[in-house]
Structure 1
Amino acid sequence: MSAERSVVAPVGGLLEEQPDTMAHRSPISRAVLDHLSARLGPPTLCYSFQPEQQPRIDLLFVPPSEASEGAVTVCTLGMSEFVQPVPAGVPQPPRCELMLRLPADWPMDEHKLTERHTAWPLHWLTALARMPQRLATWVGPGHTIPNGDPPQPFTEGTGLCGFLIVLPVCFEEGQDVVSTPAGPVALFSALPIHASELRLALERGAGVLLERLLAANVDDVIELTRAPVDAPAG
């Protein structure tokens, strides 16, 4: 079953920190950082939008590599400090972090990261990571989050207007769970989707949407101009 959430993405307040200065972070965050470094390569940037707000969420940037299939990987750091109220019987750890992947040519300089057209994935990843603690809820695979009601495109030149939470495609089986001193931390991907895909997930289930996305070779690298998977061919 697909579950919708409503969030507002933050704007402004960009703070940069070098990943190699993170010795002061919690054992959970250090374990996540070590896991990403071992699987995808060491992060080269760490940004935080509105770092004065709680919970503090940082974004780790891992540059393109063979392991990441040539994409920039962005992963939250700090979300897993919160134990989500995952319902009994749901087979996922209560702690998680979120990821998304950007094309290798996505503008990454600090000026561009404050412009809405290029920064919206990062603002939204931050908002999604804060959502469980702020709303006393949980996120997991199959959940959908629209950009408003009705959903509005994230930026000009795209029809993408919501997210589907999925398992990361850049990890082999078992690599999407991090062992930490506080227990396992799951890694999930936030995949941008269209309004018609949001409707499909709500009406027929996220599994049906995911099957169509996989059949169309859609992965979790953001592609602003991709067509909806339920659009007519040709």
Structure 2
Amino acid sequence: MLVAAWSPVPSTALDCAVVDEVSGAGIVRHEPRYDGFVAAAGQRQEVAEAIDRHIATHFGPVAFVLHEIASHLVGVHVYVVGPSAERPYQTLVTSGMSERPMTVPDGHGISPYAELMLCLPADWPLTQAALHDERTGWPVRVLKQVARLPHEYGTWITLLALIPLHPAEVMLKVSQGTDALIAALDRGGVSELLDPTRPSLV
């Protein structure tokens, strides 16, 4: 299983590790499976329409889409749902990660096809200028990176609501397992809403 972690400090690089989910301990480092750019095949129309319906049903109407033109492995488009009374923040949902199946081990009983979501404060800027500014553009960049990682490294993701983790929280997951991490996040009141100032819970 892939555990993706990054510091809330924008300049910090994404750090990823593949965790042995069976034992709950140890880190297996994977090498990229591809050398260079691999053009995405493109999303099937029926899959894109199914994702559109799911977003509209569960999150609300889409305000706009951050499209990709040339994509590596999969085309990761980011659908943005604006704030509402029920969800007073912006919801970002990928469409395209499920172009390819993830590499899920036998016996886990989960679908190899997945998309990701991340919620940003209502006033988080998502203009073109803001997306090119490292101080405000990094959540979308990381969302796309994580969407490609299972395909790049031949692994899988189970936590589909993307929650930024501090390095110490990742090590808690590695040493004590998923339940210990979820318990710590619950105690801290962590939700799918990004809080760049959140301190480590470990």
Q: Select which of 156, 163, 168 maps to 1:196.
A: 168
The residue correspondences of 1:39-58 to structure 2 (distance < 5 A) are 39-49=58-68, 51-58=70-77
Q: Distance in 2 between matches of 1:25 and 1:60?
A: 17
Shift of 1:25: 5.4
Question: Equivalent residue for 1:61?
Answer: 80
TM-score when normalising by structure 1? 0.66
Q: Distance in 2 between matches of 1:52 and 1:193?
A: 26
Shift of 1:51: 3.2
2:190 equivalent to 1:218: yes
Q: Distance in 1 between matches of 2:179 and 2:172?
A: 10
Q: Select which of 117, 120, 125 maps to 1:107.
A: 125
Q: Distance in 2 between matches of 1:213 and 1:137?
A: 24
Letter of the 1:64 counterpart? P
Question: Equivalent residue for 1:127?
Answer: 145
Shift of 1:66: 3.1
Q: How many residues align?
A: 168
* Per-residue CA distance 1:98-135 (angstroms, 9 max, x = gap): 11110111112221011111111111111111122222
* Deviant stretches of 4+, over 3 Å: 5-8, 48-54
Letter of the 1:121 counterpart? P
Residue 75 of structure 1 aligns to a residue whose secondary structure is: strand
Letter of the 2:85 counterpart? E
Letter of the 1:208 counterpart? A
Q: Which runs of 5+ in 2 are unaligned?
A: 4-16, 19-29, 33-42
Task: Report if aligned partners of 1:212, 1:229 keep a CA contact under 8 Å in 2.
Answer: yes
CA RMSD of aligned residues (A): 2.3
Question: Equivalent residue for 1:181?
Answer: none
Q: Distance in 1 between matches of 2:45 and 2:31?
A: 26
Summarize the Cα distance change of 1:223–1:123 in structure 2 as closer, same or farther, 3 Å threshold.
same
* Per-residue CA distance 1:69-124 (angstroms, 9 max, x = gap): 21111011011121122111113111100111101111122210111111111111
| Greater relative contact order structure (CA < 8 Å, 6+ sep) | 2
Question: Equivalent residue for 2:200?
Answer: 228
2:111 equivalent to 1:93: yes
TM-score when normalising by structure 2? 0.75
Q: Distance in 1 between matches of 2:72 and 2:103?
A: 22
Question: Equivalent residue for 2:57?
Answer: 38
Summarize the Cα distance change of 1:109–1:96 in structure 2 as closer, same or farther, 3 Å threshold.
same
Q: Distance in 1 between matches of 2:161 and 2:31?
A: 17
Q: Distance in 2 between matches of 1:199 and 1:229?
A: 12
Q: Distance in 2 between matches of 1:127 and 1:40?
A: 23
Q: Which runs of 5+ in 1 are unaligned?
A: 9-23, 141-165, 167-187
Question: Equivalent residue for 2:92?
Answer: 74
Q: Larger strand proportion, structure 1 or 2?
A: 1
Q: Distance in 2 between matches of 1:106 and 1:7?
A: 34
Among the aligned pairs, what percent are the same residue? 29
